[in-house]
Amino acid sequence: MDDTEDLLINFDTSVPTDVPRRRNKGRKGAKSRRYEPYERPSAPVTQHEAKRDAPSAATEDEEIEVPSPAPTHSSRSLAEEMAEAVSVAKKVTKMPTTKGTGYISSLFARDEHYTEHPEAVPQPQATMPSNAPSLQGTFEGMGLDPILVRHLNTKMGLGGKPTEIQRLAIPPLLTTPPNDAAIRDILIQAQTGSGKTLTYVLPLVQSLLPLSTESFIDRSVGTLAIILAPTRELARQIYTVLEKLLAMSLTSSEDEDAPRYSRWIIPGLLTGGSTKNHEKQRLRKGCPILVATPGRLLDHLQNTSSLDVGKCRWLVLDEADRLLEMGFEEQLSGIVKALEGRRRLALQSARDVLVESGAIAVSDPDSLVTDSLGIAWWAWRMRLVLCSATLDERVQIFAKDTLHHPLLVRAGSSSSNPSVSDSVITPVESSAPSPTMFTAPSQLQQHAVVVPPKLRLVALLALLRHTIPRPSELAEKGPARVIVFMSSTDAVDFHWRAFGGVNMTGTQSSESKSDQTEGMPLAQYSNLLLNTPIYRLHGSMTQKERIASLRAFRTLSDDKTEHTEGEKRGGVLLCTSVASRGLDLPDVRCVIQTDIPIEGIEEYVHRIGRTARAGRQGSSWLMLMPHEQPWLSNLLKRMVVQPTTDAQEIPAKVALVGLDTVLYEGYGGAAREYESRATDVQMALERWVLAAPENASLARTAFLSHIRAYTTHPTHEKALLNVNQLHLGHLAKAFALREAPNTVQQTAKHEHDKKEKVEKRAHEQKQDAESRRKRMMANLPTESM
């Protein structure tokens, strides 16, 4: 490792006792801080780079007049909004350019109004966690089987204490006929990280355990329970929880008279992106419990005859609000109707067999119907369970139309007290909808920082460097996982490649150290975040890549050669909103959102819910552009925190941290040296973009994708988050571009057209080859038999 890399990792980031404002040239009364000399890159420096700390009057840093946002009309097309956005960029005063590099300007101006004294990041206050295991009740007291309780305590490390939502929801889920509560469907509402998965999985498994005492029961009995999840990642996570739970010991050494159980409850997984033939083979063998995404399950229901759901007893819809938000409402209704139809057909078939055998009379429709094994699978109706963090209008309408006499169980929600409600769910009146209130764990420390567009890239790196523990802190804090949410898949790919490719020595970066999965890089390593693997996750990756990336981020064990587990300071996952729902990743210390979520405040709540889970501490950061700061007020009006020690809801707090504080914590240095260090990091990233055409193409694509994503904010937020308010010239710096925005658009369009021509030519050649092959096969002589 060279001196520059060592220095970048070991910046002194303690906060000075007195740091003057930018206009002051001295540091009276302040102790000079010890730090290693910072060597600038050895690459050739252009004339404009040398003058970036003293910009001329006609620089890109000058304030320009941005037109007020135009009234939002639903009839405006995306193309019109994009054209109007690019026209704003043309108002930027042109800079002198260097041949082949574009515009070069300073990141910092001496009279920026947003600079503040670097102050320490607010330290977390001691609070009682709102989603920690409850002090009241035990798993034994709720009626769970001793085998399950022993496994939860010894193998899954839950300590015998259920969370609040588990304490409230598991008893009604455990009820069986003839108890009237057994025929009621359940609607569970609880904040993220409160243990909703085990809340429905434990009763589901316990309801099937008695069948394990029958020697003639095996997995060929069919599917008895189905769990639906909105994303492949969440479905796989639920499947993993089931695998761990069903690995329990089925014998009891303490009680010799305890019943002997057979191991026949096998979970199955049906998700898009996997091989259907492999799934069909598992379905033929039998999967008593299925975890699936809606589209793939509906496909198998329609096309796979070996999927036997005629005896299905449970249907669980996890993250129901997300399922409905993603447009699965029609599919969910189709699945419910298909399952009920299959149950009626199976019941009628079993009844006909019993009538033919003379076991029951034709005139007795109320007689108990059993199958050939003598089990009354249809003694009670299929039970539906909806789990949702919010009860918005879509969820309420769906619950009213689908659930049978639902029982509402809520904890840590917007209600003043955790409760089990007998009231029937009624939809919110569409004429005067009341705003939905959201909750966050009380132990979660939320922060926001206002970042001008041109500083977004270096500010993100500063936040990562601040969050990931230094080598001296590893023994005390341990490795930290950080999740970074971005607005588009192209932005994820750009940051992932750029962070792994940047080289602070100023020379051409060699191929970054990365593990390989069938030739594809799995983790990137940056010399700005030494020994910290950087992963990515988004919907455009293949299923195998997504699984491998998540597994490596969970374990931090993907590296096999140069980095040992003890040296690792954590991991970073760059992702889109595909990772915002339901994923329970271990030891996520911080969540960073580089943009306001397109889906709104509800998505913000789900994103920050990836940390501070099950009573653990966590923090979150939201990066805002100057014109977006009013959005923070809207967020605070819709969020509450319910502490465990008080039934009264209190307003949520989001600490607004100064940008200088973030940069100082990330880059360190004496006085304002963090500015020059941040500038050097920006220049290194810009050199990486210029080093190869594919890098520049990646940056352009990410820049345009970011603008397109910005135009898709909800209509009610368009007045505040309007694309015309973006300073596109400065925003291009956030993607390490030195080109003017209109040049970026023209170049990207040219590259896209060229790529389309190549693909079209390849497709035509493939069609010609196939046509020639068919003509040749048609002209082959027929062999005589």
Structure confidence by residue, pLDDT tens digits, 135-164:
567 888 888 988 899 898 888 877 778 888
Cβ-proximal residues to 358 (8 Å cutoff; 6+ apart), any chain: none
Structure confidence by residue, pLDDT tens digits, 745-775:
888 777 777 777 777 788 888 888 888 888 8
Highest mean pLDDT: which range of 65-79, 111-125, 533-547, 765-779: 533-547
The tokens of 784 are what? 């005589």
pLDDT of residue 641: 67
pLDDT at 15 over 50: no
Please state the pTM of the whole predicted model.
Answer: 0.71
Structure confidence by residue, pLDDT tens digits, 493-543:
999 999 998 887 655 444 444 444 445 578 999 888 877 899 999 988 988
**Of 112, 12, 7, 3, nearest to 666 (Cα)?**
12
- Per DSSP bridges, beta strands 407-411 and 419-421 are antiparallel
* Cis before 178 (ω within 30): yes
Mean pLDDT of the chain: 77
- Average pLDDT of the residues in 678-697: 93
The tokens of 397 are what? 């309408």
Q: Which of the listed CATH numbers 1.20.1260.10, 3.40.50.300, 3.40.50.720, 3.30.70.20 matches domain 146-251+260-421?
A: 3.40.50.300
- State the SS3 of 438-478: EECCCCEEEEEEECCHHHHHHHHHHHHHHHCCCHHHHHHHC
**Cα 145 from Cα 248, distance rounded (Å):** 12
**Cα 37 from Cα 346, distance rounded (Å):** 78
The tokens of 734 are what? 């956030």
**Is residue 698 classed as helix, strand or coil in its secondary structure?**
helix
**Cα 784 from Cα 397, distance rounded (Å):** 68
**Of 501, 527, 520, nearest to 512 (Cα)?**
501
**Of 227, 266, 257, 289, nearest to 146 (Cα)?**
257
Q: One-letter amino acid identity for 336? A: V
**Is residue 571 classed as helix, strand or coil in its secondary structure?**
strand
The tokens of 766 are what? 């493939």
20 compared with 407, residue with greater pLDDT: 407
pLDDT-derived band at 472 (thresholds 50, 70, 90) equals: confident
Contact between residue 560 and residue 533 where contact means Cβ atoms under 8 Å apart: no
Cβ-proximal residues to 519 (8 Å cutoff; 6+ apart), any chain: none
Domain boundaries, the chain: 78-90+693-772, 146-251+260-421, 443-620
Answer whether 146-251+260-421 and 443-620 agree in fold. yes
Residue 25 CA: distances (Å) to CA of 21, 32, 307, 486, 573: 9, 14, 75, 38, 40
Q: What's the chain's length in residues?
A: 785
**Cα 779 from Cα 216, distance rounded (Å):** 59
- Average pLDDT of the residues in 256-262: 74
Highest mean pLDDT: which range of 57-71, 153-167, 417-431, 694-708: 694-708
The tokens of 113 are what? 């109004």
Give CA 596 to chain center in angstroms: 14
Name 291's bridge partners.
227, 269
Name 191's bridge partners.
none
Torsion-angle region of 782 (φ positive above 0: left; ψ -120 to 50: alpha; else: beta): beta
CATH architecture of 443-620: 3-Layer(aba) Sandwich (3.40)
User: What is the residue whose two structure tokens read 């210390």?
Assistant: 589
**Cα 402 from Cα 384, distance rounded (Å):** 9
Residue 720 CA: distances (Å) to CA of 13, 36, 84, 622, 656: 35, 44, 16, 17, 19
Name 361's bridge partners.
none
pLDDT of residue 700: 93
Give CA 50 to chain center in angstroms: 42
